[in-house]
Amino acid sequence: MSHEKYIRQIALPQVGHAGQEKLGRSRVLVVGAGGLGNAVLPYLASAGIGSIGVIDGDRVSLSNLHRQVLFAESDIGELKAAVACKKLSKQFPEITLIPYNDFLSGENALTLFAEYDIILDATDAIDIRYLINDACIVTGKPFVHASIYRFQFQVALFNAKNSGTYRCLYPTAPKTTQSCEEAGVMPSTVAMAGLYEVNEVFKYLLGIGKSQVNSLSLVDTLSNEQNHFSFERKNQEHITRAFFEKEYQRIEHVAFAKAEKEGYFLDVREFGEQPKLVFENYVQIPLSELENQLDLLSVNHPIYLFCQTGVRSKKAYRLLQDKGYGKLFCLAENAPEIEAKTIKIES
């Protein structure tokens, strides 16, 4: 690879020819080709990262264009990963861009991560961040994280050289959070968050500067204030391949209307939660009592699990799976949606 294109960054004593060679040999996987993905990809490519993978199963829509600047109106309806790679390949023909037109999942994460040096989190869903985190622990890969809420963003580098992980910072997911789609965002905020991420990637790959490890950077773009919050590294030895496979193996989802007649609808919410539901074959056993009340559940009938948001029904699914229940499904809908499809009982 000719280094002439990169001569301005090679001129930096912290980079030099050796640093440029390192970047050229590096493989970076970007998870998500949305706002953050569009911010990081041009700069990873322009700096001469040798191989860049992009995974996203989503397609371009009109409301993406204000912050996802690699896409044109003529790309609407096209696969984001494919369009981004095609565009960047034209601009930077000397590097390798690999699109994966699929969503990251428990089935593909470990194989994919194993092929890269560092993972860049450019997603917009917290549950996927736990998937990235756990897959990085299992495969021994570092990952750079950024996330945005309106005019603020958070950035950190996790699981790098024994540093803390996303679970050390946030052991469990909150019940509700808003994505950019719901909360609103300016393109400049997404771009800044993305560039902080790219900068962490460069520092890590080149071994220069101070990486944002064991500490979260929180930037407010309205005040330009920046806070750093340090956190303790916790033992993550329980995040093993077996844990990962169990946590992220596919859960069978089925629509309420498609449930079989001989099955039971198992509500695992606590008693007293609203909306109160009563309909044919409805059973309520709170998740907290489920393990002690298994005698109420037949292994021979299909069980359709639901709760308020889908978090507890997933836990109940895993618990019943462990106890040998085979005909298990999580309902695609939860209590509020089911209420709309059944007759409401006044409490």
CA–CA distance, 196 with 206 (Å, rounded to integer): 15
Nearest-CA neighbor of 66 among 222, 196, 190? Answer: 190
- Which of 56, 75, 117, 124 binds other proteins (CB under 8 A)? It is 124
Nearer to other proteins, 53 or 302 (CB): 53
CA–CA distance, 86 with 335 (Å, rounded to integer): 43
Stretch that binds other proteins, among 83-91, 107-115, 122-130, 314-322 (CB under 8 A): 122-130
The whole-angstrom distance between residue 234's C-alpha and the CA centroid of its chain comes to 21
Nearer to other proteins, 10 or 185 (CB): 185
Binding to other proteins in span 220-239, by CB under 8 A: 220, 227-232
- Which of 170, 270, 276, 327 binds other proteins (CB under 8 A)? It is 170
Nearer to other proteins, 149 or 243 (CB): 149
Quote the tokens at residue 274: 């609203």
**Smallest distance from the beta carbon of 166 to other proteins, in angstroms?**
9
Q: Any contact of residue 126 with other proteins (CB under 8 A)? A: yes
The strand pair at 143-149 and 303-306 is best described as unpaired
Nearer to other proteins, 135 or 168 (CB): 168
- Which of 46, 101, 152, 284 binds other proteins (CB under 8 A)? It is 152
Q: Any contact of residue 179 with other proteins (CB under 8 A)? A: yes
The residue type at 255: A
The contacts of residue 167 (CB under 8 Å, 6+ apart) are 130, 133, 134, 234, 236, 239
The contacts of residue 24 (CB under 8 Å, 6+ apart) are 1, 48, 49, 50
Q: Site residues (CB under 8 A) for other proteins?
A: 32, 34-36, 121-126, 129, 146-150, 152-154, 169-170, 172-180, 183, 185, 190, 193, 216, 218, 220, 227-232
